[in-house]
């Protein structure tokens, strides 16, 4: 009986190890400049405060709390937009996950970050984006990398056949 319990315990440990390993964050291998050019914005921010909140998902016209993940919402001030257009986003808040790709920001610190901005939504970022902390405003101490222009979409119009016959 003891041998069976030991064997089952070992199998359980292996299974748990495989499950926990599958939730690790994995980022593409990029240079600092490449990482700076990810996302649709880059900005210098000041973190004023933060709190952890639970996400709610809308299902069948009723709100049900689904504990899929907690997010941390930081109160921020945008000091300078370095790249992108964040005019329609919620520029007073930064949302980061507490999951494996999540990031913890320190209050009363300055950061240069990249991330994603969506209309009416808080700015978002994660550990796969560019994030650099500063004790004081980084003006003059941070050199903004040059990002390549995004490729323009190429559309091929269909050939038009013009007939002069009726």
29-66: pLDDT as tens digits: 888 888 899 889 999 999 999 876 655 544 444 444 44
- What pLDDT, on the 0 to 100 scale, is given for residue 137? 93
116 or 162: which carries more pLDDT confidence?
116
Helix, strand, coil % over all residues of the chain, rounded to 5: 15, 40, 45
Mean pLDDT value across the chain:
76
Query: Is a pLDDT exceeding 60 seen at residue 8?
Result: no
The structural domains of the chain, ordered by start, are 31-134 (2.40.50.120)
84 or 5: which carries more pLDDT confidence?
84
Q: Mean pLDDT: which of 18-27, 80-89, 104-113, 151-160 is highest?
A: 104-113
91-106: pLDDT as tens digits: 899 998 877 788 889 9
Q: How many residues does the chain have?
A: 166
Q: What is the 3-state secondary structure (H, E, C) of 115-151?
A: EECCCCCEEECCCCCCEEEECCCCCCCCCCCCCCCCC
**Best CA proximity match to 41, nearest among 140, 123, 108, 96:** 123
Separation of alpha carbons 146 and 144, rounded Å: 7
* Residue 150: band (very low, low, confident or very high) from pLDDT cuts 50, 70, 90: low
- What pLDDT, on the 0 to 100 scale, is given for residue 45? 96
- 147 in a known ligand binding site: no
- How far is CA 122 from its chain centroid? 11
């Amino acid at each position: 009986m003891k041998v069976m319990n030991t064997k089952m315990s070992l199998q359980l440990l292996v299974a748990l190890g495989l499950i926990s390993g599958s939730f690790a964050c994995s980022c593409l291998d990029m240079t600092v400049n490449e990482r700076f050019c990810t996302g649709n914005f880059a900005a210098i921010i000041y973190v004023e405060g933060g709190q952890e909140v639970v996400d709610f998902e809308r299902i069948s016209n009723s709100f049900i709390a689904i504990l899929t993940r907690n997010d941390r919402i930081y109160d921020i001030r945008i000091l300078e937009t370095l790249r992108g257009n964040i005019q329609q986003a919620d520029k007073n808040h930064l949302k980061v996950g507490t999951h494996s790709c999540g990031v913890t920001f320190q209050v009363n610190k300055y950061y240069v970050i990249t991330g994603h901005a969506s209309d009416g939504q808080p700015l978002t970022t994660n550990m796969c984006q560019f994030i650099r902390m500063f004790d004081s405003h980084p003006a003059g101490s941070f050199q903004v990398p040059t990002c390549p222009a995004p490729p323009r979409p190429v559309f091929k119009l269909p050939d038009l056949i013009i007939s002069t016959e009726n």
